[in-house]
Structure formats: C-alpha cells, structure tokens
Amino acid sequence: MVRNRLVLEQLHHHAAHDKLLTMTWDALDPEIRRRNFKRMLRMILKMARRVATGAALRDGAVRTMPFRFHADELEIDASIERLITEAQPINGRLTFSNYSDFSVIERTRRPYAYSVMLDESRSMRGSKSAAAALVAAVLLLNLRTEDQFAVTGFSDHARVIRPLGQRKVHERILQDILDTRPGGCTDVAKGLKAGITEIKKGGACHRIGILVSDGWLNTGHDPLPLVREFRQLHVIELPGGDHDLCVRMAAAGNGIVASVRDLPEIPSAVKRCLSA
C-alpha cells in the first residue's frame, strides 16, 4: 500500500498514473483515495460518455399525436381533418403552417426498470472494483427520464447502494460504489434476490437485470431459479471467473453475456445489454 502511494505520487503527471490508479484503487488508504477521487471520477465519466444507446424500443399503446420527430407514419384522416378545420388559406389554398399540424401514428414506450447487481466479493479486487462504477456511470448517462434503476452490491451478504426511484446526483452514486472494498465469498443467488426485491418496488412493465461479476460462485444456493424472475438478465462478465456459469445465467434470463477484459471495453458492453 505504501509503495503504491509513493509510485502514484511520482507518476502524478504521467500517463501511467490513471492505469495504476484503477489497478490499486481498492487497496489505497482513505487519504490517497480522497485526494485522487476527482481524477478517478473524471476518468470513469470520460469512458462512460464514449457510447450512447440507440433509439428506444417503443412497445406501448398506439395513439394519434402531432408530429414530434418520434414517428413518421402519417395519420391521413386526422391530418386532413385538421387541415380543413385549422389551416389558414394562402392564395386560395389551405396549408399547414407548422410541422406539428400533421398527425402521425405513434407508439408509446413502456417504462423500464433496471437493477444493477455488483459483485463485491474478494475476487473483484484490483481494476474490477472500478469496473462496477463504470457500469453504473454508463447506465446513468443513458437512462431516460421515464425509466428507473437500482444498484445493489453483494458478496456473502447483499446491500442496497441506490434504492429504486431515488435520484442521487451522479457523483454521489459513483462515490458510494468506489468506496467499496471487495471482500468475502460470492453468493450470486443472494445478489440476484436483492436486485429482484428492489426492482419489484416499481411499476415498470419491463424489469431488466444487469449482473456485473466474474461468475466465481463459492457459496449460497443455485442462482438459476432466481434469474427467471427478470424479464431479461444480462451478465457483464469480468475476467478470471466461471464463464460457463455466466453463459447459463444469461441464457436462463433471455439475456446476453458481454465479456470484457479491461475497463475501456465496458461502455460498449453496457450498450449491448441495453440494446438487446
């Protein structure tokens, strides 16, 4: 720990500083973490902003709406009716004065609720602990106003980091995650149970789970029965664990496995989960 502190101080203005910071973050003493938190936060947010999700799936009720750039299927009868009743004659012709005078058929989007479950066990030491914060940052930056999300952490016990429906500023959520020191065994079933319990508190139609883990299960019950309680469960698989378990959980949860080797790959992995 002392050696890491001295090396970080020597490399303060060097490009290698950030990489070493992520590799040793969970082992640094509180004072060094406090002094480097802003730098760590900027680095995580910079990586998170490199991706943006595509257009959201619209799977709700169909309705006729003024054109708002959300749909392009013209509702002819409604548009003609508005033309007759509201349009102003110009040079003997009825014309629309604004694009919003057209009516289109628009399908609404049902709200989504996301449950991010972060592995905080002993096997998540090193740069894996920063990976958890990066996943949360990418989701925060891509979350739509009608959506909700919760963040839970687990090892051989589970905790709620961010309850569903609570709107914390980005920095506070990420600080809560970065303050974690990995330890204990890995009870994936307990982590899934905490995520399910939290996500069910909302009224969203679609409940999506995102599990961030290396899949190294060494205590607790079989997690597969709990996976099926999500509409979808995606697994962001960090290196060094049980790939087969990650695949089985994603398959049972109608989700995908996004395997990552290092931090820069995480934003695209989260994007694939959100777009699946």
Query: How do residues 227-247 score in pLDDT, each as one tens digit?
Result: 999 999 999 999 888 999 999
Query: How do residues 249-275 score in pLDDT, each as one tens digit?
Result: 999 999 999 999 888 899 999 988 988
Q: How much is the pLDDT for 222? A: 93
- Give the sign of the dihedral formed by CA 58, CA 59, CA 61, CA 63: positive
Domain range list for the chain: 9-55+110-275, 62-107
- Give the sign of the dihedral formed by CA 182, CA 187, CA 192, CA 197: negative
* Cβ contacts of 255 within 8 Å, gap of 6 or more: 209, 230, 232, 233, 234, 235, 273, 276
C-alpha dihedral (244, 247, 248, 252), degrees to nearest 10:
180
Q: What is the CA radius of gyration of the chain?
A: 23
Domain 9-55+110-275 falls in which CATH fold? Answer: Rossmann fold (3.40.50)
* Cβ contacts of 29 within 8 Å, gap of 6 or more: 1, 5
Give CA separation, 81 vs 37, 59, 77, 84, 248, in Å: 60, 27, 6, 5, 55
- pTM summary value: 0.76
Residue 127 near residue 141 (C-beta atoms within 8 A): no
Q: How much is the pLDDT for 211? A: 96
Query: How do residues 158-208 score in pLDDT, each as one tens digit?
Result: 999 999 887 666 788 888 888 888 999 999 999 999 999 999 888 777 889
> In the predicted model, is pLDDT for residue 86 greater than 70?
no
Query: Quick one: average pLDDT of 62-86?
Result: 63
∠ CA 38-42-43, nearest 5°, is 120
Residue 229: closest CA among 248, 208, 214: 208
Pair type for strands 62-66 and 73-74 = unpaired
Q: Tokens 């009716």 label which residue?
A: 81
> In the predicted model, is pLDDT for residue 88 greater than 70?
no
Q: How much is the pLDDT for 221? A: 92
Q: How much is the pLDDT for 33? A: 87
Residue 163: closest CA among 140, 194, 204, 125: 194
The span from the CA of 142 to the CA of 94, in Å, is 42
**Which is higher by pLDDT, 33 or 248?**
248
> In the predicted model, is pLDDT for residue 58 greater than 60?
no
> In the predicted model, is pLDDT for residue 76 greater than 70?
no
